[in-house]
A and B are shown apart, each in its own frame.
Chain A
Amino acid sequence: METMEQILGQQSFFAGFPAEFVALIAGCARNCHFKAGEYLLREGDPADSFFLVRQGKAALEIASPARAPVIFTTLGPGEIVGVSWLIPPYRAEFDARAVEPVRAIAIDAKCLRAKCESDHHLGYEMMKRFLPVMVKRLHATRLQILDVYGHR
């Protein structure tokens, strides 16, 4: 039976992460499953958790009145669902829905925020992991907005 520390240590997201920090994060982590169609996050809800996907696929969606939701990105194994836990007021910005069964590690954001506040080295390491994720998504969004496949 693998421990949570071992499971986290195998994730590329935590590659090179100091072992003592992995242990701290493991104290805030648990395994979780979502059936297809279930929501990992709902827009506006407190960002109490974020998820590291181990298997399956989740879609980030924007819902608007009188329109069907639009999926703007999908996230799969090794990817993070939920970055709003880092940014006040700590509320989910979008819906995250499992488009197929998802197996993930859920990390208690309140627990981790408190640990990051009390240990800024841990907080800095987490920022170093999350900033590239956010920049990569911003970059991808820019390319999507460019609508490069449309007519010139």
Chain B
Amino acid sequence: MQAAALKDPFVPDICRVASARRELADAVTLELEPLSGARPDFRPGQFNMLYAFGVGEVAISMSVSAHENRGFVHTVRNAGAVSGALAALEPGATLGVRGPFGTGWPVAEAEGRDVLIVAGGLGLAPLRPAIQEVLARRERYGRVTILAGCRSPHDILYQRDLERWRQRLDVTVEVTVDHAGTGWHGDVGFVTGLIPRSPFDPDKAVAMVCGPEVMMRFAAGALLKAGMPAADIYLSMERNMKCAIGLCGHCQFGPAFVCKDGPVLPYDRIAGLLAVQEI
């Protein structure tokens, strides 16, 4: 363990792509095996810096719990040069991995309380490890509700997981899309519209919210309106992470460094910053 503590955080480990699964037209899930054979350990909500050799490095959250023993699993959307290179990796390819970094979702702190998961678009990826860990110890939590919003029925991430969770009798799963054709029998509307009708006790609930910042801001507003204290609402922030250990300042968000103090932050700490332009 001492060796791990002394490890240079700027030196990536080399990992091999064990599998690459296309989730959506522009998103791929990579399962990564460290060449060292080490078994990755991390908390839900943490992220790695993935390095596409010769292209660059980008922060990507874990998308499967460490308890699943599947190595590092990351869902990557092709949104730029680096993420595009990562999304194009095929099984057997190698890449650099630094991490895990950052804070995690309050999975342990939520024990004994209702859990409300609010995901928008690819925001379900960083939340999936938290969902998996809550459901693995389901008896320790109150009511569990998963709300997922996305653009259209073609853009539903982890559809099989959502179907599996929905089949359980102890979880409420609601999926809504922004627009749909008449073949869609689910909900249509913005994800915040699902909050007022969700079964949770605002005084004894923890909300974990991830998605585009606009969506998170309005989701937090809807949760406050439902009676939840701001301190019980957690958001996963995204900024331009570089060093990932709070040295370079690229990801500064007001007084916080998203890489070190986040990415998961309680809403009461950042509420005033979310509406400020260009922070």
Name A's B-contacting residues (CB within 8 A). 57, 59, 61, 68-74, 76-78, 97, 99-100, 140, 143-144, 146-152
Contacts and interface: CB of A to CB of B under 8 A. Distances in A.
Contacts of A140: 189-190, 192-193
A73 B120 contact: no
Contacts, number: 70
Contacts of A150: 151
Contacts of A73: 188-189
Contacts of B149: 149
A52 to B, nearest CB: 15
B212 A149 contact: yes
Contacts of B150: 149
Interface in B210-267: 211-212, 214-215, 218
B120 A148 contact: yes
Given A143-B214, A144-B179, A148-B212, A74 B188 contact: yes
Contacts of A97: 182
A143 B151 contact: no
A143 B218 contact: yes
B184 A71 contact: yes
Size bracket, chain B contacts: 20 to 34
A69 B182 contact: yes
The binding surface of chain B is classed by DSSP as: mixed
B139 interface: no
Contact of B178 (A77, A99, A149): A149
A148 B188 CA distance: 15
A68 B214 CA distance: 30
Contact of B185 (A68, A78, A99, A152): A99
Contacts of A77: 197
Interface in B187-208: 187-190, 192-193, 197
Contacts of B212: 148-149
B180 interface: yes
B214 A74 contact: no
Nearest to B123: A149
Given A74-B188, A144-B189, A149-B121, 4 more contacts: A76-B187, A99-B185, A149-B122, A149-B149
B193 to A, nearest CB: 6
Contact of B190 (A57, A70, A143): A143
A77 B215 CA distance: 24
17 contacts: A73-B188, A73-B189, A74-B176, A74-B188, A74-B189, A97-B182, A100-B185, A140-B193, A143-B214, A144-B189, A147-B178, A148-B214, A149-B120, A149-B211, A149-B212, A150-B151, A152-B79
B111 interface: no
A57 B174 CA distance: 14
A150 B214 CA distance: 12
Contacts of A143: 190, 192, 214-215, 218
B181 A146 contact: no
Contacts of A70: 179-181
Contacts of B133: none
A48 B193 CA distance: 27
